[in-house]
Structure 1
Amino acid sequence: MVPIENWKEVVFSDAAGPAKVVYRLWDDWRVNRILEKAQRGGLSLVEFERSHHRIAFLMRVQRAVEICSSKDVVDYLAYALIGGIQTGDVDSKPDFAQIAISSLSGLTKIELDILVLMQQKGIYFPPKPTIKDSKVKEALEFYKDLEKNFELSSEILGSIMSSLSRTGLVSSYAGSFADSRSRVNCRLTPLARDVFAYVDYGKRLTC
């Protein structure tokens, strides 16, 4: 395995192959942080070069990193990168894996915090709820707690949930995300479940 401090020399050498296009932001702390975690997760430079699918996957992570300023979001990207490759999904079902990793692109810290809390509370899509469904009541309490803990108005929280719909990680039964009253219908999607599975697996490999 190439030591992390020597990757720059290897990547930009003529022998580096397709991987040398990936590290244009080599001196950026965010890229270094991801590469360090990747090594701890068992991914060397050689592992990334095993297929074009892996190179494409890594490049999607790089694009997400370029517009990220939060350490927590960078760590999530790193764990998802490791999990996506080490589960074999990047090679066995590359389109799905790339959709999954791209869903994390552009997330802010508060959006990630909300997604993580939704996961911890199990705010996923069940069969379509009814008024008497206990899941609806649980979700309502959850969103009330979010407003309090993040000091957000219901309108601002509704806007954040609407923004999260762009990722494919959150969807709603309601016709309009913008209506703050419909936020109770916002749930994590099956895609979110798989993204979190990548992240959890990546975390386990780097512990």
Structure 2
Amino acid sequence: MGAATKTKPAPPAAAATSTPDGYQAALAEWKSIDGRLRDLTRSIERLEHAMWFASVQEIPERAKHIAAEVTGLILSCRRSPLRAAADLESLRFDLSELRPKHTAARERYLIARSQEAVRVAETFRARHGDAVQAIIDAVESLAEALKAERLVRAEYAAVSPEPTSCLLPNVSDDLAEADLAKWDSAAARWARRIRSLRS
């Protein structure tokens, strides 16, 4: 391996503490609690709307589409405003009780997701490392070929009475971005990135 892209083996990653079952359990818990929170929030909004509509003599035209969605609740609120207020208080209490559980479940899910991502990545690490090494070998081989082509033309130019490109065309300049010998070439920048990733 050439010095330009020489790398040391990637250090072993920290062992992931996740399991697929653990991640799925955390995901299921998060989805369940998140769904309950959304349902509670929606129920509170619907009841608040219904209580307001029940308290006015005439529903504004711009709000009639909302009122149409809670017609049954509006009638219930008019029949028993005290019961509606109690129901609203109960829903708000349930929501306040659920919020910390929602936050905790989300944190557990995010931790489990991160750990599972590490675990899954580990199953691909060896194959990815082989693929990266194949790219390194190909880039270095191409760089050596470009260098050899330039040397041949340089030798030709040194001895030929008429060293024109028509007789020995320059075919390497079009691949200058693949030249590891050029600091600002795409290949050289890529090699530096690979070294930083593996250092």
Give the TM interval when normalised to the shorter protein: under 0.3
Larger RCO: Structure 1 or Structure 2 (Cα < 8 Å, ≥ 6 residues apart)? 2
Q: TM-score, normalised by structure 1?
A: 0.19
- Which structure's residues are more often helix, by fraction? 2
What is the TM-score with the length of structure 2 in the denominator?
A: 0.20
